[in-house]
Chain A
Amino acid sequence: MNAISAPADAFASALDTVPKLLLQNARQHGSRPAFREKAYGIWQTWTWAQTKDEIEAFAVGLKLLGVTAGETIAIIGDNRPHLYWAFCAAQSLGAIPVPVYQDSVAEEMAYVLTHAEVKYAVVENQEQADKVLSIAGDIGTIRKIIYNDPRGLQKYDPSGLVSLESVQDAGRTALKADPAVRKAWLDGIAAGKGSDISVMLYTSGTTGRPKGVMLTQENVVVSGRNANLFDHFTPDDTMVAYLPMAWVGDHIFSYGQAFAGALCVSCPESPDTIIEDRREIGPTYFFAPPRVFENMLTQIMVRMEDAGWLKKKLFDYFLKVARRVGEPILDGRPVSFGDRLRYRIGDILVYGPLRNRMGFSNLRVAYTAGEAIGPELFSFFRSLGMNLKQLYGQTEASVFITLQPNGEVYPETVGKPGPDIQIKIAENGEVLFKSPGVFLRYYKNDEATAETKTADGWVHTGDAGFIDQRGHLRIIDRAKDVGRLNNGTLFAPKYIENRLKFYPEIKEVVAIGHGRDFVTVMINIDLTSVGNWAERNNVIYASYQELAAHPDVYAMIERRIDELNKSLATEEMVAGSQIRRFLILHKELDADDGELTRTLKVRRSFISERYAPLLSALYDGTTRCQIKTEVTFEDGRKGVIEGDVKIVDMKTYPPVKAAVREAAE
């Protein structure tokens, strides 16, 4: 076992809870923007002083409603300032906020709300209120639902529902009437401790039921503060909060880091306007899972396909320049004068406008995590001058385990341990860590807690990886997913999937091979990209299914896999896992059908059960397979998709002994 520890940051402070940070920010940065939200097309801003007033009124109102310390409050909705305030208001009373994924259907919600014994629910709008109302009877513990947007809710039975505004109004009235109310609130905050439970985050659960991860105030505050130190964030930095509030990433970035560093958080107008809103805000700090970057790249490539001749030529030329010298320039390595000049011109003509288009003109730091990012994809954004870095983390760590420091960014690694964080590798290759962000325990699940957290404080990540010569951590796959083919060859499904997903035509891949004779893949085409291709080539289609089964689409995917096989043949470790057969799925993998998690990761075991006939067809040599699949529509109704799926055999290549080994740079 080799352990690495980062230098400890001796930051002893009385500011050990988020509500205390709020008061501090209101004092120190009172007139600086804290939250922004677009209303009726115009950005509205709340300063830290105003934010404090809003939260104060909200908290006092909640107390009047009967909220007491230790009670759980569900928070459900898209990113809204009022919902972020709900976290802080609840915490200032010692209550525990439980954010819930806003796009989960009522039954999924019921599990979390029941398990957490939620007493109150703060919801964004009618949609969420309807869901909670429909399950409130079964849950039985909910006393009141507090809604932010009153539209459509005015005529509901007022006994169970109250508007957030009226809660705040009640709070304001009480504050005005009696100065002791404010004092009681401030005393409550002063009495808060770093060891108090701050939030309960339910993991999306790639396997089994979601688990409630309990984080302490210290977990969130110290993780946020350390991350701010690591990247030198100041109150001038700003970000757009658009990822689910129930996800630990958003909670730490848009809440922990924002409060710890007095950063400004902007909430988009609606989930559909994020790109426009990001352009208008121009965040300096941005986080996105690889999927979002993939979509951006696909969008750019699709648009360039439609661009004029000159634009296309310029784009192609300067992209080539960027690919060669962009990253060295970003990392401050020596580059010849001519290349610098070329890159400068490219910056004016191509890279700058591209960054502006994506809303990254002011970007200082961008992170990606959640899944391994394709190296080509990663380098593409970096070569445009964006300081995109990877981090590795999980809910149980309050996000951060390792991060890539500026100037030490290697696409295939996830960086070095963050401040105060130690990591080590177990004998079976699993990564373990110890940090100030280590969660307290799983709610009402001591068995799982004991499995994950050792007696001396190390936490099992469930990921397999190793530490390279530079001290950087490399993650191969989930520890339990790394398998072997029957002939003993190592098979890391994620690796193959990620390589294929870099192609804009391919949206999702499921690679199969563990305990089999050879590797096969099931593919989802990307409807945006392939649809655009179809339009340009006069391919007529009525549905995803029809397009996916089109012979030309098959031919296109076949070419891609062939490219990959050729490339895999040159890589010693994976040459044996070249793809022998593939098929294109007749439907898009969907979280509503349980095929993806809510954070849109593939649920492999579920898929292999659900598509068992396709799986056996992949291995029994047949070239066609009839399949019938039940699907769930967005409104919860069920239907059946039936289809005939073609299976294609691929050519494999003998392993090439790699003469040049310079994988990294």
Chain B
Amino acid sequence: MKADVQERPETASAGHVVADRVIGDVVLAVDNVSLAFGGVKAITDVSFDIRKGEIRAIIGPNGAGKTSMLNVINGFYHPNQGTITFKGKKRSQMRPYIAASQGISRTFQNLALFKGMSTLDNIMAGRALKMRRGLLWQALHWGPALAEEIRHREAVEKIIDFLEIQHIRKAPVGKLPYGLQKRVELGRALAMEPELLLLDEPMAGMNLEEKKDMSRYILTVNDQFGTTVALIEHDMGVVMDISDRVVVLEYGRKIADGTPDEVQRDQRVIDAYLGISH
């Protein structure tokens, strides 16, 4: 509900140890990235960076290349040109496994949950990379494997509590309403305890109340766990309210980059996006 970044008080209250909201160094940089599918140019020479602890929004009209950009960042697409620097290591292409194990997790525009599985199991799946015991141990479900599962279950329960989805803990996610599925997907991404959280339209198709809830979760994740967030979102109110910096894409090119205020005043952005009604 406190949806205004500028207004968030900077002082930590007495008696609580909390991560202070500090925007740090560049954690991920995209330099001169271009991506083409055959003759279709999805992204052309785009550069921007994401700083530690910030909420970074990527906006732009439909087909601007936003999701492609996220896919490049977590290694699902391999760019034709350019480099991605994550935690100081420069790569010409990311690989999903590296991205995941290095602390990048994401949610998807069109939901990619295991529909037949319960909320609990879906979020538990997000812990897979953190499990140390092999298949045999897990099958035995005894001793160290059991202890490990209990530890991970606790982490998952904390996420369930955080996202207020206790009532659907055991429900198969395929039967849940869309807004709740989005929440479960966020839960799965959080289960990886990511450093960088990529959210692809986390509020698409939600009603006002669900959007408010989702904004609150994103802000809290960012605020209390210090998680860096990069998000794509179409709801301009939300974007301008919660993000620290915004990068604007149009037809695969970057046309603006700056604080929400700067971007909103930018004439090219107004022309391309904000000022024109579809």
User: Are A41 and B157 in contact (CB-based, < 8 A)?
Assistant: yes
The verdict on B89 contacting chain A, using a C-beta distance below 8 Å, is no
B18:A154 contact, CB within 8 angstroms: yes
Instruction: Please state if B209 and A273 are interface contacts (CB–CB under 8 Å).
Output: no
Q: Which residues of B contact A38 (CB under 8 A)?
A: 166
Q: Smallest Cβ distance from A543 to chain B, in angstroms?
A: 12
- Give Cα distance in the complex from A40 to B152, angstroms: 12
Indicate if the CB atoms of B212 and A635 lie closer than 8 Å. yes
Contact A155 B8 (CB under 8 A): yes
Does A370 touch B at the CB level, under 8 Å? Answer: no
B161 to A40, Cβ gap below 8 A? Answer: yes
A633 near B: Cβ within 8 Å?
yes
Which residue on chain B has the smallest CB distance to residue A127? Answer: B1
- CB of A9 within 8 Å of the partner chain: no
Our pick among B12, B162, B167, B209 for the contact of A151 (Cβ within 8 Å) is B162
Q: Are A40 and B216 also in contact (CB < 8 A) when A155-B12, A166-B15, A276-B167 are?
A: no
Rounded to whole angstroms, the CA-CA distance of A276 and B169 in the bound complex is 11
Question: B220 to A41, Cβ gap below 8 A?
Answer: no
Q: Is A152 engaged at the interface, CB distance under 8 Å to the other chain?
A: yes
Instruction: Take A130-B1, A155-B8, A270-B164 as given contacts and tell me if A41 and B13 are in contact as well, using a CB distance cutoff of 8 Å.
Output: no
- Check if A158 sits within 8 Å of B166, measured CB to CB: no
> Which of B1, B157, B164 is the one whose CB lies under 8 Å from A40?
B157
Residue numbers in B under 8 Å from A158 (CB-CB): 13-15
Q: How many residues of chain B have a CB within 8 Å of chain A?
A: 27
Q: Do A40 and B9 touch (CB < 8 A)?
A: no
Contact partner of B166 (CB less than 8 A), chosen from A41, A130, A151, A156, is A41
- Mask, B224-246, CB within 8 Å of A = 1, is 10000000000000000000000
Select from chain B the residue with minimum beta-carbon distance to A162: B15
The CA of A135 and the CA of B127, in the complex, are separated in Å by: 43
Residues B224 and A154 in contact, CB atoms below 8 Å apart: yes
Report yes or no: A152 in contact with B220, Cβ–Cβ below 8 A.
yes
Q: Is A168 an interface residue (CB 8 A)?
A: no
Answer yes or no: B208 CB below 8 A from chain A CBs: yes
Q: A150-B16, A155-B223 are in contact. Are A269 and B166 (CB under 8 A)?
A: yes
Q: CB distance B14 to A635 under 8 Å?
A: no
Question: Main secondary structure on chain B at its contact with chain A?
Answer: helix
Q: How far is the CB of A295 from chain B (nearest CB, A)?
A: 15
User: Is the C-beta of A447 less than 8 angstroms from some C-beta in chain B?
Assistant: no
Scan residues 38-69 of chain A and give those whose CB is less than 8 A from a CB of chain B.
38-42
- The interface residues of chain A lying within 8 Å CB-to-CB of B262 are none
Using known A-B contacts A270-B164, A272-B167, determine if residue A634 contacts B209 with beta carbons closer than 8 Å: yes
Contact A273 B166 (CB under 8 A): yes
Distance between Cα atoms of A161 and B14 in the complex (Å): 11
Complex contacts, A633 vs chain B, CB 8 Å = 208-209
Interface flags, A600-636, vs B, CB<8A=1, else 0: 0000000000000000000000000000000001110
A158–B9 alpha-carbon span in the complex (Å): 11
A361 at interface, CB cutoff 8 A: no
User: Closest B-chain residue to A152, C-beta based?
Assistant: B220
Q: Which A residues are CB-close (under 8 A) to B212?
A: 635
Confirm or deny: A163 has a beta carbon within 8 angstroms of a beta carbon on chain B: yes
**B223 close to A40 (CB less than 8 A):** no
Query: How many whole Å from B131's CB to the nearest CB in chain A?
Result: 19
Decide if A635 touches B209 in the complex (CB within 8 Å).
Answer: yes
Shortest distance from the beta carbon of A146 to any chain B beta carbon, whole Å: 13
Within 8 A of A (CB), among B103-145: none
B261 within 8 A of A: no
Residue B45 interfacial (CB < 8 Å): no
Query: Which chain A residues border B9 with CB–CB below 8 Å?
Result: 155-157
Residues of the B chain whose Cβ atoms lie less than 8 Å from the Cβ of A166: 15
Tell me the bound Cα distance from A42 to B12 in angstroms: 31
- Which of chain B's residues 1-52 have a Cβ closer than 8 Å to chain A? 1, 8-9, 11-16, 18
C-alpha gap A276/B16 in the complex (Å):
34
B15 in contact with A270 (CB, 8 Å): no
Bound CA–CA A150/B14 (angstroms):
13
Contact B166 A270, beta carbon cutoff 8 Å: yes
A150 to B15, CA, bound (A): 11
The answer for the CA separation of A634 and B208 in the assembled complex, in Å, is: 10
Cα distance A39–B162 when bound, in Å?
A: 12
Which residues on B sit within 8 Å (CB–CB) of A634?
Answer: 209
CB-CB < 8 A to B162: which residues of A? 151
Q: Which residues of B contact A157 (CB under 8 A)?
A: 9, 13
Interface residues of B in 182-216 (CB under 8 A from A): 208-209, 212, 216
Q: Are B220 and A151 in contact (CB under 8 A)?
A: yes
**How far is B9's CA from A161's CA once the two chains are assembled, in angstroms?**
14
Instruction: State whether A154 touches B12 (Cβ < 8 A).
Output: yes
Residue among A40, A156, A637 making CB contact with B13, cutoff 8 Å: A156
Q: Which of A40, A155, A156, A276 has the most chain B CB within a 10 Å cutoff?
A: A155
Q: CB of B95 within 8 A of chain A? A: no
Cβ contact within 8 Å between A270 and B167: yes
Give the docked Cα–Cα distance between A157 and B16 (Å).
12
Q: How far is the CA of A41 from the CA of B16 in the complex (A)?
A: 25
Q: Give A39 to B1 CA distance when docked, in angstroms.
A: 25
User: Whose C-beta in chain A lies nearest to the C-beta of B157?
Assistant: A40
Distance A347 CA – B224 CA, assembled complex (angstroms):
53
The smallest C-beta distance from A54 to any residue of chain B, in angstroms, reads 19
Q: A42 — which chain B residues lie within 8 A by C-beta?
A: 157
Contacts of A270 in B (CB 8 A): 164, 166-167
Q: Out of A41, A150, A156, which one reaches B169, CB within 8 Å?
A: A41
A155 to B167, CA, bound (A): 28
Docked complex Cα distance between A633 and B9 (Å): 29
Any chain A CB within 8 A of the CB of B248?
no
Complex formed: what's the CA distance from A549 to B197 in Å?
45
CB distance from B147 to the nearest CB of A (A): 16
Chain B residue at minimum C-beta to C-beta distance from A158: B13
- Residue B73 interfacial (CB < 8 Å): no
Residue of A nearest to B224 (CB): A154
Q: Quick one: closest A residue to B10, CB to CB?
A: A155
Give complex CA distance A276, B171 in Å.
Answer: 12
Is residue B91 within 8 Å, beta carbon to beta carbon, of the partner chain?
A: no
With CB as the reference atom, state the residue of chain A lying closest to B217: A152
Closest to B162 in A: A151
Contacts of A41 in B (CB 8 A): 157, 160, 166, 169
Residues of B within 8 A of A151 (CB): 162, 220
- B90 at interface, CB cutoff 8 A: no
CB distance from A373 to the nearest CB of B (A): 27
B161 proximity list for chain A (CB < 8 A): 39-40
Q: For the complex, is B175 an interface residue (Cβ under 8 Å from A)?
A: no
Which residue on chain B has the smallest CB distance to residue A163? B15
11 A–B contacts from the bound complex (CB under 8 Å): A40-B157, A151-B220, A152-B216, A154-B224, A155-B8, A155-B9, A155-B12, A272-B166, A273-B166, A634-B209, A637-B208
Given contacts A40-B160, A273-B167, A276-B167, 20 further A-B contacts (CB under 8 A): A40-B154, A130-B1, A151-B220, A153-B13, A154-B12, A154-B16, A154-B224, A155-B18, A155-B223, A156-B9, A157-B9, A157-B13, A158-B14, A161-B13, A166-B15, A269-B166, A633-B208, A634-B209, A635-B209, A637-B208
